Amino acid sequence: MKIIKRLSLLALAFIITAAGLVLFLWFKPHRNVQAGKVFAEIKARDLVNEFTADATKANAKYLAADGNSRILIVAGRINKITVNQNGEKVITLKERDEKAGVNATLTQKAGANTGNIKIGDIIKIKGAITAGNSYDTDLDLYEDAVLVECAIVE
């Protein structure tokens, strides 16, 4: 009987701890990328070249192990403007002769205020980098670097 009581108390303690952790993570405030400090200002071409030359070194420089990757301002020429499955605008910064570029997913607010930008314009975008560009040998395809929670800066 004592074993059952101890196991019940242990299970209850585990459930309470797990529930506390879930609630902590659920209500944790989201990172405000636009209010955050900029790590670097860089041209899209230079960012792509860093990842192409040495992905390990570039990952260590831009992608933080704690999940809070660096906030960058990336300048480049608009190659494509699309809308993703969440209804967010995605701007691809890439020169015509480049194989990879930078995909910047705008916040809902920033996406609504894009106004009169068009393909070919040179702009600056502030956002958090979540992935560098790479080459997929299986698909024979270049994948773009990814910025999230972006807004166009003046």
pLDDT of residue 72: 93
Sketch the domain layout of the chain as residue ranges: 1-30, 40-153
Determine contact, residues 127/72, Cβ cutoff 8 Å: yes
How much is the pTM? 0.75
pLDDT at 124: 93
| Beta strands 134-136 and 145-153, pairing class | unpaired
The residue count of the chain comes to 154
Q: Give residue 111's pLDDT.
A: 64
pLDDT tens across the length of the chain (154 residues):
778 888 888 989 999 999 988 888 788 777 777 778 888 899 999 999 998 888 889 888 888 776 678 889 999 999 999 888 988 889 999 888 888 889 999 887 766 677 788 898 899 999 999 888 787 888 878 888 888 888 888 7
| Class at the top of the CATH hierarchy for domain 40-153 | mainly beta
